[in-house]
Structure 1
Amino acid sequence: METKNVSRKITGLFWLSLLAILVTLNGCDDDDDDELWGNWVELGAFEGLPRTDAVVFVIGDYAYVGTGYNGEEDERLRDFWRYDPQYDTWKEMASLPDEAPARNGAVAFAADGKGYVGTGFDDDENKLKDFWEFDPSEGENGSWTRIPDFPGSGRYAAVAFGINDKGYVGSGYDGNRLKDFYQYDPASGQWTQKTSIGGSKRRDAVAFVLNGKGYVFTGVDNSDYVTDAWVYDPDTDVWTELKEITSGTNDDESYDDDYSIVGSKGVAFTLNGLAYITTGGTGYAGNRTWEYDPSTDLWEEKSNFEGASRTDAVAFSINNQAFVATGNSSGYYFDDVWTFYPDEEQDDND
């Protein structure tokens, strides 16, 4: 009798083991079916100090990265570096002048062949409104000239972008969350207040440009992560609301109910008529990546950012190649640089 019981136990264990193997195999098949696309490849490191909360603008075939914070108490940065994607090399350029406070949390945009940097906060956490123009053609390392101050309140964590050789700056934090919006025209050297961003006030949002229009997504208002999203038409000075970016808020059946794009301190870039948001997070450093199609106002999840999860990185695109660099997580400051190929399968050997 005891031998039969042992035999039954062995037979039962065999079938349980077989069932576990089949479940595992089915799970692997599901994972393969759900595999996300997009290949992240690490490049050579940023040559300046590791940093977070820096700015970037693109002029021609080069990106310019500067300012930020590298973890030294009460010390911000004013240096700038030019990136050449053709050779994956960096060159130090003219720093912001001594009369321009070192800063982080600033904004930047490019317009009419020049770069513009302003706002942010300095070593004493003063909220700034000064603005500076960078001319890459002046001298070997370019030069900086002060332009009229930003007309809104001094602030940090705003958004900025350039369209048709004009710059646009808005939202941010001056002690309160903001949604005001301004245009700078390099031809006249004048700022003009425009229609405020629709919906929520916000700080630490992302912005990008597609088809001559400016898009603003994500950010935080008080303790709430913003779910509304907006697109701006500079020809009409009108903001149009888009689908919200979190699950359970849209009746459209074509809308993926598993969206989880809300957050703050992420980055955005564009490639081939599509936009991407990555890193940032909701109370922690994240790595999820989402692709946006403006023709449908819909999102698709792509493979996770392959570097360490982070917030307050910089992102840019040059000649239809995208890059993400710098940032921080839990007191660690990064100087790594990554490029992204959205239509390739992730290769972990890169």
Structure 2
Amino acid sequence: MNDRTKLLMGLSLSLFSLFCFFSCSDDSDSDLVGNWIKRSDFGGPIRGFASSFVIGRKAYVVGGYTSKKRRLNDIWEYNIDQGYWTQKADFPGTARNAAFAFASEDKGYYGTGTDATNNYGDFWEFDPDNNQWTQKADFPGGARYGVTAFYLNGIGYAGTGLGTNYYMDFYKYDPATDTWETGVSIQGSKRANATNFIIDNKAYVVGGGNSSGYVTDFWMFDPDTQTWEEKAQIGDKTDDDFDDDYTTITRLNTVSFVINGLGYLATGETGSLNSYTWEYNPVTDRWTERTSFEGTARTGAVGFSIDNRGFVLTGVGSTSSTDLYFDDMWEFKPRDEYNEYD
């Protein structure tokens, strides 16, 4: 199985694979709320399918690939207060892409992933104060990629993905003891290359795909009760009017971030590249379309939020083999008026 086939997970996309450089939306962005603003470029080389985490007021981007044959093991720190990037100590494990990452209060964690030939199940800790990597207990779910992960109440959670199978399992990591234990599996569909966002100490897992196609079920995890709750699906699945326009939320290899208690999805792919931006309100359990991503359309980007500011950067400019990789960075202002010249 070649690299691109693995990343697309065997989905039958031939009817939709288009080389799409700009938003695929038919709606006029001027009719939507929200504005994308180009910020200073990412400090490292162009890349796609990297991983990111946030510690305090600093974001970190690690790994990915910058061509089909060149994986990366560098890590870069973004200081939002100063607006600049600094390269940190290289990741000492095998260079890879599509790895998971999350952060505790003061450490970053990075594990699994693929280099197109091999999948990995190792797991590492990054200490930004000492600029040092330390290998930790292996991820117990085995070698895989496209895992989604998050951190709540002092515990890391990692699950789903693709290895010898598509998965729906989750595992819990305790940084204090460097131990993993089996957690509660997500319900509904198996999936890989999903994303997640955290609102009010609950994790929302959305998107991804499996051998049956793109996943439309949407789940919230509550760490206090250790339970999953299904939310409204992200497709037109009911006879009610609220989801009639839910035709462009579904995707994989998307990014997410949170601004003022609302979740956002941007970029990714649904056969062709997906530039639609959607906003999720956890109080109403409803999605609202916002101004489409204004950079070049892409998949395999990274996204993060700091201090109620949401950013999207890097990525790949095609759903098929390409040399088009990015190092630009964009900030989304969800309540600003659209301005195509920003």
Same fold (TM over 0.5): yes
Give the equivalent residue in structure 1 for 2:262. Answer: 274
State the one-letter code of the partner of 2:255.
V
The 2-side partners of 1:121 and 1:131 are apart by 13
What does the per-residue CA deviation read over 1:55-112, in whole Å, with 9 as the maximum and x for residues that have no partner?
A: 0000011000010010152x21110000112222100011112xx1111010100013
Give the equivalent residue in structure 2 for 1:256. Answer: 243
The 2-side partners of 1:71 and 1:137 are apart by 31
State the one-letter code of the partner of 2:65.
Y
Give the equivalent residue in structure 1 for 2:171. Answer: 182
C-alpha contact 1:243 1:250 (8 A) present in aligned 2: no
The 2-side partners of 1:195 and 1:166 are apart by 13
CA RMSD of aligned residues (A): 1.5
What does the per-residue CA deviation read over 1:267-311, in whole Å, with 9 as the maximum and x for residues that have no partner?
A: 111111000001112111111000000011100000000001100
The answer to whether 1:92 aligns with 2:87 is yes
The answer to whether 1:67 aligns with 2:63 is yes
* C-alpha deviation, 1:256, in angstroms: 3.1
* C-alpha deviation, 1:121, in angstroms: 1.0
C-alpha contact 1:43 1:88 (8 A) present in aligned 2: no
The 2-side partners of 1:38 and 1:96 are apart by 36
The 1-side partners of 2:224 and 2:201 are apart by 9
Pairwise mapping of residues 129-278 of structure 1 onto structure 2 (< 5 A)? 129-138=121-130, 142-247=131-236, 249-253=237-241, 255-259=242-246, 260-278=248-266
Segments ≥4 residues shifted beyond 6 Å: 31-34
The answer to whether 1:81 aligns with 2:76 is yes
Q: 2:107 aligns with which of 103, 107, 114?
A: 114
State the one-letter code of the partner of 1:156.
Y
* C-alpha deviation, 1:175, in angstroms: 2.6
C-alpha contact 2:258 2:264 (8 A) present in aligned 1: yes
**Larger % of helix: which?**
1
Evaluate the alpha carbon distance shift between residue 293 and residue 76 of structure 1 in structure 2; reply closer, same or farther with a 3 A threshold.
same
Give the equivalent residue in structure 1 for 2:286. Answer: 298
Identity of aligned residues (%): 48
The 2-side partners of 1:33 and 1:102 are apart by 39
C-alpha contact 1:279 1:310 (8 A) present in aligned 2: yes
Q: 2:328 aligns with which of 328, 332, 336?
A: 336
* C-alpha deviation, 1:34, in angstroms: 7.4
Larger Rg: 1
Give the equivalent residue in structure 2 for 1:287. Answer: 275
The 2-side partners of 1:308 and 1:164 are apart by 37
The 2-side partners of 1:343 and 1:86 are apart by 22
* C-alpha deviation, 1:238, in angstroms: 0.7
SS of alignment partner, residue 270 of structure 1: strand
State the one-letter code of the partner of 1:283.
G
State the one-letter code of the partner of 1:345.
E
SS of alignment partner, residue 220 of structure 2: strand
Name structure 1 gaps, 5 residues minimum.
1-30
Give the equivalent residue in structure 2 for 1:308. Answer: 296
Evaluate the alpha carbon distance shift between residue 34 and residue 305 of structure 1 in structure 2; reply closer, same or farther with a 3 A threshold.
closer
* C-alpha deviation, 1:32, in angstroms: 8.2
The 2-side partners of 1:257 and 1:164 are apart by 37
Select between 231-240 and 336-345 the one with higher mean Cα deviation.
231-240
SS of alignment partner, residue 343 of structure 1: coil
The 2-side partners of 1:47 and 1:211 are apart by 32
The 1-side partners of 2:293 and 2:200 are apart by 26
The 2-side partners of 1:32 and 1:105 are apart by 33
Of the two structures, which has the highest relative contact order with CA contacts closer than 8 Å and spacing of 6 or more? 2
What does the per-residue CA deviation read over 1:207-251, in whole Å, with 9 as the maximum and x for residues that have no partner?
A: 11111111111111104111111111111111111111111x124
Give the equivalent residue in structure 1 for 2:306. Answer: 318
Give the equivalent residue in structure 2 for 1:19. Answer: none
Evaluate the alpha carbon distance shift between residue 250 and residue 303 of structure 1 in structure 2; reply closer, same or farther with a 3 A threshold.
same
